Structure 1
Amino acid sequence: MIDSPVFFSGIGGSGMLPLASIVRASGAKVAGSDRSLDAGRTPHKFDYLRSLGIQLYAQDGSGLQAGMTLVTSAAVEETVPDVVRAKELGLQHLTRPEYLAKLLNSAQRSVAIGGTSGKSTVTGMIGWILHACHRQPTVMNGAVMKNFVTPSAPFASALVGDPELFVSEVDESDGSIALYRPEVAVLTNISLDHKEMEELRQLFAHFLNASRKAVLNLDDPETRALSATVPEDKVIGYGFDSPRADFMGKDLKLEAAGARFVVEAEGERHEVRLQVPGRHNASNALAAIAASRAIGVAVADAAAALERFEGLRRRLETVGTANGATVIDDFAHNPDKIAASLATLRALPGRLLIMFQ
């Protein structure tokens, strides 16, 4: 139970909006500010926040009151009036990851998903599996989960459910992944992105060892090497090419609009059909099945649920067709992610015209 009002400075951010909506749904009083609101940008986003009962203010410190907790995004500098005013009032000030860690670490059951690539999709898959299996999870994502979009919830980057079953992607870019102590830690892969490799190895090793169970992609060389730093009885491995994997993917067939494969686990075989394309998404699905099993979902139930997983916005998302051309939007923003997207697209028939923004 959140017992004090919370003010989110930078509330319109991709990591702040879902967190604010989760906190508001708990019954807490929530307010916020954002420079995009001040500039008149993305008004529909702020209308949605108001519809949740969240009061919005200019980012000038006027919304801060005694007794509040201030939560700031990485985009909010110490010189922003909200932060200055919070200091004047002596308010507790937490960063977004610090506040998220409080919620996740206090839950009875929790899954935290880390890695350079794939964590948003794996988070969405786990959230959907638990929802489809009537487990009522609370899910914190950095992307919109298409299964949960409704007219009243167009920004479905969060799913509000039982706060004691908390699923969240967690970020290593600012080192805050060290804050989390989940029941189940998932590590999809490690590659050069925001930090040097040795620092990434140390951060992810700490993350895995702070958990009770570690779900690891044994097909990824860096993640496989890191598994040696984790007690063997905590490790749950998955992969298509790794004989030691507890959750082994086989007979992968890539299709234009999805993929099919068989997962072998616990002496059983189950077919998995996906609506999302690409080998990388098949690997993501293995991660989600393994993590869901770690918190009690039968493999057969997880596999069946994934057949209805619709994917995330801006993850190889078909946005329409015009003059015989299919337009696809993708958020891939580092070399490995771009390579995975291009490999998936090149398997499709027809000519590719690719624009990088």
Structure 2
Amino acid sequence: MAPGLPTAMDRPHFIGIGGAGMSGIAKILAQRGARVAGSDSRESATAESLRALGATVHIGHAAEHLAPDATCVVVSSAIRPDNPELVRAAELDVPVVHRSDALASLMGGARAIAVAGTHGKTTTTSMLAVALTELGLDPSYAIGGDLEGPGTNARHGAGDIFVAEADESDRSFQKYDPEVAIVLNVELDHHANYASMDEIYDSFETFVGKVVPGGTLVISADQPGAVELASRLRDLSTLKIVTYGDSPSADVRVHKVTPRGLTSEVTVVLDGRYLTFTVSVPGSHYAHNAVAALAAGAALGIPAHNLASALGKYTGVKRRLQLKGEANGVQVIDSYAHHPTEMTADLEAMRGAASDARLLVVFQPHLFSRTQELGTEMGRALALADASVVLDIYPAREDPIPGITSTLIIDAARAAGADVTPVSDQAAVPDVIAGMTRPGDLVLTMGAGDVTDLGPQILDRLSN
């Protein structure tokens, strides 16, 4: 077994190795000396980056892709039981490890910061990774998106800090034992796994209960779900709670957020002192993510003024209001937002950053279950745009639900006064957008699916 590797993780096989969460774990294992292999449904830049680290990446899923000497098979909750590689693992008696267990084993022995919340996890985790790296602390990190600077979502560092996204969607964040836990927000989502808000609160409470004795919970003082969660916490004898936000009672209080084009200047009050720093993404939503990162770093004993300065080095995450380019005076920006709260935050941020521009959105709903529960709210959020194109639902891991289509969102948007154009054929979108835009407009491709692929296509069409 290679040095520093958990038991049975020296020859892992990942099913779905190209996914955001899976690829990060695979990269760290490869950097630690493991002989990594896996498969994914299609070629991607992620697959190439894994091969560059020495991993074997197969395209497509087939039983023969699983090497007989594999020490474990790593899966996510999205892998179905009839996957041929998973079936072959059972035949060979190869242990199957959930992604969250693999990540938990990598975090063992480190001073872990686990970032949780219905939305904002990737941005906040990224901000911490960049700031801690800038300060020379050489952290390990596993993020659900690629950092703009390093261009990767994971790294094995020589330092003793490990920063990771903690995914609540399938309760897997309950596997971690962090020194610092961040809860950004608590909202109803992931309807295939949670039947009610009470179930979600119980799940988050279990996550918080895993913080090591003497550790810290950093939690929003403003977001209603986070406030409710804090009120439900029972045994606080071994837990320090640090609140952040606009509330006058917050331990780290947001004094002011000043828009500066596509950036923001943030001033906070901490221990009676004012600290001001720059965040390289627009909007209050992202500014508050940065304040959560500041509070978490301070909880590890890192001087707050050093953290504030280092946070200014964060330049963004791919798909989080990422500028894809400009053509004929039209800027195209990519957003991962797929929950109504995220959609509203990104649309308001772009409104604040470019108040004189028309804002056009290409929105792709993500998951039938989410659309069924939150489609009306998604439609209302789109009313913040000047005009929208709405695509068919991106199914991801789900089967269709009878009667649930993008029409639910389109009807709600129109009822809220929005200008909405339904488009089922994604190949037609660049032409549709070209017919809608004029110089000075902003086009936002929005959603967690393959809508991101349309950005370059729209730019090409606008150029021609």
Shared fold, TM over 0.5: yes
SS of the equivalent of 2:359 reads coil
Which of 9, 15, 23 lines up with 1:17 in the alignment?
23
Which of 134, 143, 146 lines up with 1:144 in the alignment?
146
- Cα distance in 2 for partners of 1:320, 1:139 equals 28
- 1:193 and 2:196 equivalent? no
Q: State the Cα distance separating 1:313 from its structure 2 match.
A: 0.7
Letter of the 2:259 partner, please give it.
L
Match of 2:360 in 1: 353
Which of 220, 224, 228 lines up with 1:225 in the alignment?
228
Match of 2:416 in 1: none
Residue correspondence of structure 1 range 15-54 to structure 2 within 5 A: 15-36=21-42, 41-42=43-44, 44-54=45-55
Contact kept? 1:121, 1:312, Cα under 8 Å? yes
- Cα distance in 1 for partners of 2:109, 2:342 equals 31
1:255-275 Cα distance to aligned partner (Å, 9 max, x none): 321111211112322111111
C-alpha spacing 1:12/1:163, structure 2 compared with 1 (3 Å): farther
Residue correspondence of structure 1 range 64-79 to structure 2 within 5 A: 64-66=67-69, 68-79=71-82
- 1:121 and 2:117 equivalent? no
- Cα distance in 2 for partners of 1:272, 1:25 equals 33
- Cα distance in 1 for partners of 2:134, 2:109 equals 20
Q: State the Cα distance separating 1:64 from its structure 2 match.
A: 2.8
- Cα distance in 2 for partners of 1:12, 1:18 equals 9
1:302-327 Cα distance to aligned partner (Å, 9 max, x none): 11011121011111111111111111
Letter of the 1:97 partner, please give it.
S
Which of 165, 170, 187 lines up with 1:169 in the alignment?
165
Q: State the Cα distance separating 1:163 from its structure 2 match.
A: 6.9
Match of 1:335 in 2: 340
SS of the equivalent of 2:128 reads helix
RMSD of aligned alpha carbons: 1.6
Which of 308, 318, 322 lines up with 2:327 in the alignment?
322
C-alpha spacing 1:14/1:67, structure 2 compared with 1 (3 Å): closer
- Cα distance in 2 for partners of 1:25, 1:259 equals 35
Contact kept? 1:107, 1:165, Cα under 8 Å? no
Which of 233, 236, 240 lines up with 2:242 in the alignment?
236
Match of 1:153 in 2: none
More divergent stretch after superposition (298-307 vs 245-254): 245-254
- Cα distance in 2 for partners of 1:102, 1:309 equals 28
- Cα distance in 2 for partners of 1:30, 1:351 equals 47
Match of 2:349 in 1: 344
Letter of the 2:199 partner, please give it.
E
Contact kept? 1:205, 1:226, Cα under 8 Å? yes
Letter of the 1:182 partner, please give it.
P
1:130-164 Cα distance to aligned partner (Å, 9 max, x none): 10111110110011111212xxxxxx011221374
Which of 292, 296, 311 lines up with 1:291 in the alignment?
296
Q: State the Cα distance separating 1:225 from its structure 2 match.
A: 2.1
C-alpha spacing 1:164/1:8, structure 2 compared with 1 (3 Å): farther
Listed as ranges, the gaps of 5+ residues in structure 2 are 365-464
Which of 255, 260, 267 lines up with 2:265 in the alignment?
260
Contact kept? 1:187, 1:214, Cα under 8 Å? yes
SS of the equivalent of 1:316 reads strand
1:6-32 Cα distance to aligned partner (Å, 9 max, x none): 111111111111110001101111111
Match of 1:131 in 2: 133
Larger-Rg structure = 2
- Cα distance in 2 for partners of 1:191, 1:206 equals 16
Letter of the 1:135 partner, please give it.
L
- Cα distance in 1 for partners of 2:313, 2:33 equals 31
1:45-69 Cα distance to aligned partner (Å, 9 max, x none): 3232211111234532222324511
Letter of the 2:48 partner, please give it.
D
Letter of the 1:123 partner, please give it.
T
- Cα distance in 2 for partners of 1:204, 1:146 equals 30
C-alpha spacing 1:308/1:164, structure 2 compared with 1 (3 Å): closer
Letter of the 2:124 partner, please give it.
V
Contact kept? 1:289, 1:302, Cα under 8 Å? yes
1:97-149 Cα distance to aligned partner (Å, 9 max, x none): 12112222x13300000000101000000111110111110110011111212
- 1:93 and 2:99 equivalent? no
Match of 2:306 in 1: 301
- 1:313 and 2:318 equivalent? yes
Match of 1:208 in 2: 208
Which protein has greater RCO, CA pairs closer than 8 Å, 6+ apart?
1
Q: State the Cα distance separating 1:199 from its structure 2 match.
A: 1.0
Q: State the Cα distance separating 1:82 from its structure 2 match.
A: 1.2
- Cα distance in 2 for partners of 1:71, 1:350 equals 46
Letter of the 1:198 partner, please give it.
D
Match of 2:378 in 1: none
SS of the equivalent of 2:63 reads coil
- 1:56 and 2:57 equivalent? yes
Q: What TM-score does the superposition give when structure 2 sets the normalisation length? A: 0.71
- 1:83 and 2:86 equivalent? yes
